[in-house]
Amino acid sequence: MPPYDWNWMAAFLGARALAGIEHFESAADDDGELTQIVYRRTLTVGQGKSAVSGWICWRPLKDKHAVELEISASLASHREEVKKRVSNLLDLDANPQEIAQTLGPLAVDDAGLRLPGCIDSFELTVRAILGQLVSIKMAATFCARLAALCGEPIVTPFANLTLLFPTPQRIAALSVEDLRAIGVQSKRAACLIGIAKAVQNGELPLYSICDVEQGIRQLVAMPGIGAWTANYVAMRAWGERDIFLHSDYLIKQRFPNMTPATINRYAQIWKPWRSYATLLIWNNPNWKP
């Protein structure tokens, strides 16, 4: 449902694209408006012996308010699952009119802003851990190094798609020293391996989450996972639309002289769309409470 801010979504996902796994192509007019967006990536659907790998490609059809999706023949039998994942990544089920009505002046100039989701919940959790306290560019670099270290190679028709994102099994088999060798700090490396082992053993559910609050509590109980990371995973991996990252550094800058608790109380006015409020405030450096 329109409007949809494709420029913003392409910039958000493009800045986080992982070498070997994802690739963006775009073209813009003289005003900087993107006239063409093409996104490709590798993907695994299923687990264990039933896992199937391949590639996908999507592009927005702006005039038709639709997204064109192409998938490799290897993923054809999982077409509906792939469509579901792409819809989650792009937040295609959102009703921007309803959200903007609740958010009021905050959304008046950005009603087309959508909540970036993910293709895979474990992948997003790994990205969130590696992105703690580093820049977006450095987080993408760490993830790309991790993929180069233990991601499974894949042959595709595209020269820039050569790897699959590492599975929990492959990351669980690493040592802290393996991860330190690619620049990951020791505690973060131990956290990442611990998460991978917990997912591998079925101790930490990351898929088909019905109770988001319980999911957040389970994440926070894992060594090395704080409230910000757990809520960020809930927002993007599970598509939770009512998360407000009140302790986020940038959010706190937008609310000078307020404590995180006070900021959180203020944000109640944006329920049940506080995840979108978080994005809009991130996106607007001139916004003031």
The verdict on 125 and 232 lying in the same domain is: yes
Token pair of 118 as six digits = 């993910």
Which residues, 6+ apart, have CB-to-CB distance to 63 below 8 Å? none
- Structure tokens of 198? 């917990």
Angle at Cα 17 formed by Cα 9 and Cα 32, nearest 5°?
45
pLDDT above 90: residue 50: no
Distance CA 131, CA 119 (A): 17
One domain for residues 145 and 78: no
Same domain flag for 222 and 128: yes
Q: How confident is the model at residue 40 (pLDDT cuts 50, 70, 90)?
A: very high
Reported confidence tier of residue 108, pLDDT bands at 50, 70, 90: confident
Task: Give the 3-state secondary structure of residue 258.
Answer: coil
Distance of alpha carbon 74 from alpha carbon 286, whole angstroms = 47
Do 73 and 155 belong to one domain?
no
**What letter represents residue 153's amino acid?**
P
Structure tokens given for 31 = 């005003």
Confidence of residue 141 (pLDDT cuts 50, 70, 90): very high
Cα(198)–Cα(201) distance, rounded to whole angstroms? 5
pLDDT class of 35 with cuts at 50, 70, 90:
confident
For residue 11, give its domain range: 6-107
Amino acid identity of residue 246, one-letter, is: H
Question: Is 201 a member of any domain?
Answer: yes
Claim to verify: residue 157 and residue 73 sit in the same structural domain? no
83, 107, 131 — which closes off a domain?
A: 107
Residues with catalytic roles = 248
Give the pLDDT of residue 48. Answer: 73
What is the token pair recorded at 185?
């700090």
DSSP state of 164: P
**pLDDT at 36 > cutoff 90:** no
pLDDT band (50, 70, 90) for residue 89: very high
HSE-up (13 A, CA, CB side) for residue 118: 22
Average pLDDT over residues 270-283: 95
Contact 36, 25 (CB under 8 A): yes
Residues 150, 76 share a domain = no
What amino acid is encoded at 112 in this protein? G
Contacts of 85 (CB under 8 A, 6+ apart): 43, 119, 120
- What value does the mean pLDDT take over residues 40-64? 90
What is residue 49's predicted lDDT score, i.e. its pLDDT? Answer: 77
226-255 pLDDT, tens per residue?
Answer: 999 999 999 999 999 999 999 898 999 999
Enumerate residues 6+ apart whose C-beta is below 8 A from 102.
Answer: 270, 271, 272, 273
Residue 98: per-residue pLDDT: 94
Say yes or no to pLDDT of 86 above 90.
yes
The domain that contains 190 carries what CATH number? 1.10.340.30
Please determine, for residue 217, whether its predicted confidence score (pLDDT) is greater than 90: yes
pLDDT at 204 > cutoff 80: yes
Same domain for 232 and 171: yes
Name the pTM for this structure: 0.93
Question: Are 102 and 140 in the same domain?
Answer: no
Query: How many other CB atoms sit within 10 Å of the CB of residue 11?
Result: 14
Number of domains in the chain: 3
pLDDT at 128: 96
Q: Structure tokens of 113?
A: 């802003």
Average per-residue pLDDT for the chain: 93
